[in-house]
Every structure is written in C-alpha cells, then in structure tokens.
Structure 1
Amino acid sequence: MTAAIKFYTNPMSRGRIIRWMLEEVGQPYDTEILGYGVDMKGEYRSVNPMGKVPTIVHNGQIVTECAAICAYLADAFPQADLAPEITQRADYYRWLFFAAGPLEAAVVNRALGVQVPEDKRGMVGYGSFEDVMTTLETAVSGKQYVAGNHFTAADVYVGSHIAFGLGFNSIEPRPAFVSYVEGLKNRPAYKKAAELDDALIKAMNS
C-alpha cells in the first residue's frame, strides 16, 4: 500500500532534517532517492521547480523548504505533539524561522568567505555572524528544548542546523550548543533517521 507521504531526498542533503522529522511524526512514508544533477534537474522539477531536495507530497499537497516541511508535518499530525498549543507558539515560530533565515544565511555566507562590510550590515537580514551566534546561544542556553518545556519541530530544525554546524566546523562548539545537541541526539527518532541515511550513503558509495 502506498503511504500518504512521499519523501524526495538525498542522504547527503538537508533531507536528513526531514527524515528525522518524519521519524518523529511516526507515520508511514515512501522515500524516493534522487541523485544530484540529472535526477534533480529533470522531471523532478514538476514537483519542485528549484530542482532541489527535500520535498514531501502529502495527500497531493507539495511542500518544499525544510522549515516549512517541519511546520507542516507538525500541524498535519497533531497526535505527534510536535508543536505547542497555538497560544504558546511565539518561541516556536521565532526560533524555527530564525534558523531558516538569519542563521542559515550567516553560516553559509561565512563558509563562502562572504564578508559583509560593517556599514552594509543593515542590508542583510542577519546583521553580523557574531550577533547571530550570540542570539542562538541565548536561545538554547540552559534549555533542553528551544521552545517551551517539550520537544517540538523547532528542535528538529534548530538542532539540525547546530549539529551540522558543529560537524562541519561552521559553528563554534560553544558549551550551550554542544549540550543542547547532545540531548537531542539521544532521541530514538534521531538515531533511526541517522542510521537510515548513513546506510543509504554507504550503499551509494559501495
């Protein structure tokens, strides 16, 4: 039987974020692995015109962009309890989209060697890399979860960004970052998602 969710991904992509989110949701899903190049830039563009992964299709609804997919899945499957009550979502939305905007832009620009002149910082949404890191540190310091007292989709997304950053040395290993991520890595869904994608990478390279 075909699952209601179809997941387009590559195990060496941001699709790892959505794999984790799907495992947290706990619903069956079908996975289609796409290679870089022809696979993503061919017929797949009818699903995602950007020719990038990840994408999900749920009951005919196409959702792209990792933060949007995380938020969508949390709302589509409320029984998984991956979003706070609607009246308690300020921090949830704040940090979910902080990571999607200022954090990702600042980290990527720094990795590419893009230097924003001090007098031009007002033109970029993140201002400065240093301000982003200090703000991120504030968001997770002394907390198990970034938005309230239980795990949410915001932790999947923010935690993934920090984990990637620590792994690729694009985010410095401040104690608050390390502590926050280590707590998330103990989740069964995180471990299962990592095992699935790591096994796919191994198979692709064998």
Structure 2
Amino acid sequence: MSSKWPAIHWPTPPIDDGVVSLSEFRHEDIEVMVGVSSDPAIRQWTSWPHHYTEVEAAAGIERRERDRLSGQAISFALRQKPGGQLCGGVDLRAIDRAVGVYEVAYWVAPECRGRSLASHGLQLVCDWAGRELSASCFEALIQPDNASSIRVVEQLGFQRGALLEAHRVRSGQPLDFFQYRLWMPLAEASASRG
C-alpha cells in the first residue's frame, strides 16, 4: 500500500534545545523501553502492552520507521542532555496532512519525570513540524484524570476542547479523553506553507 505523502525526513541537524535532544529510537533503547512498560503510569495512560517484550520493542522500532517512511508519522526518542540517555518519546501522527493537522503523544520514563522534559520535547516537535511539515494545528488526547499530562500541554498553550466520551477502548474499558489543540499562529503557518 503506497502513501500519497512523501516520507517524513529526520531533522538535520538533530533537534536539540540544550536540555533534551530528539532522535530515532535505536536497538540499544530496547532494554529501557521494556523496563518502562512495567511502570504503573505508563500502563494507566498509554496503550503499551503490559508485558512488553524485547521482541515487541524491536518490532515497535521497526513499525515507527515504516510509519515515518509512509509519511504518516514520526516518533522521536526523547534524550536527556548531556549523555543522550533515553528518557521518553514524542510521537507526531498526521490526522490530515493536507491541512497540517497532527496528533501528538508523549511518554516519560519514571526516573526522568518532574524535570519538564516532556514539555521541552513536545515544544521542539511542534516548532519543527510547524516549520518543516507546515503543521497548522496539533491535537493531544488526554484522559481527564491525567493531571501531569494536562499540565504539559497547558503550559505550552494547548486549549482544552471537547470531552470525547468512550473515545477509545483499552483492556475492554471505554475511555474518555479531553481533546486539546494548539494552533500555530497564522503568520507562522502561512510562512511555512509558502
């Protein structure tokens, strides 16, 4: 199945703000990813399998690359500086690439929380996607009781929209989500499209 969109290219040079850098996921990240999957918060707020294996993590890295090549998504490994330790991830998935609407999602390893790393990573991805992909709107779907994630998006200027009742099902349970959106300023969106 071919995509009507070209592949999303990795940023050159890599995205970096001095606090975090964003890169591809690598096979040496598998051990961290498997360890993170047992974290209660990851289990509660994400769709990761509860018994994530090394084989599943490796397949996940390959799936992320296929998604990037199809032009539909790009998944960044969030690395703490200095040293490049994997501390989380930020995903950008096209909802409607033709008009520049993308969904964002993110996670942070337990030992890296409380340092605003998700905010840094999400800001970097939104800025990059606005410039390079002509993104005009970012959407984040967050469960109403996920206060930490709500804080991240609200600090970056996302606005709460509709409550999407029973929007997704996880482990047989329907889940509600707030729909948060961040619109690029019109001048920036127009300039990046021009």
* Shorter-chain TM band: under 0.3
Could you state the TM-score of these two structures normalised by the residue count of structure 1?
0.26
Structure with a larger share of its residues in strand: 2
**Greater relative CO (CA pairs within 8 A, separation 6+):** 1
Point out the structure with max Rg over C-alpha.
1
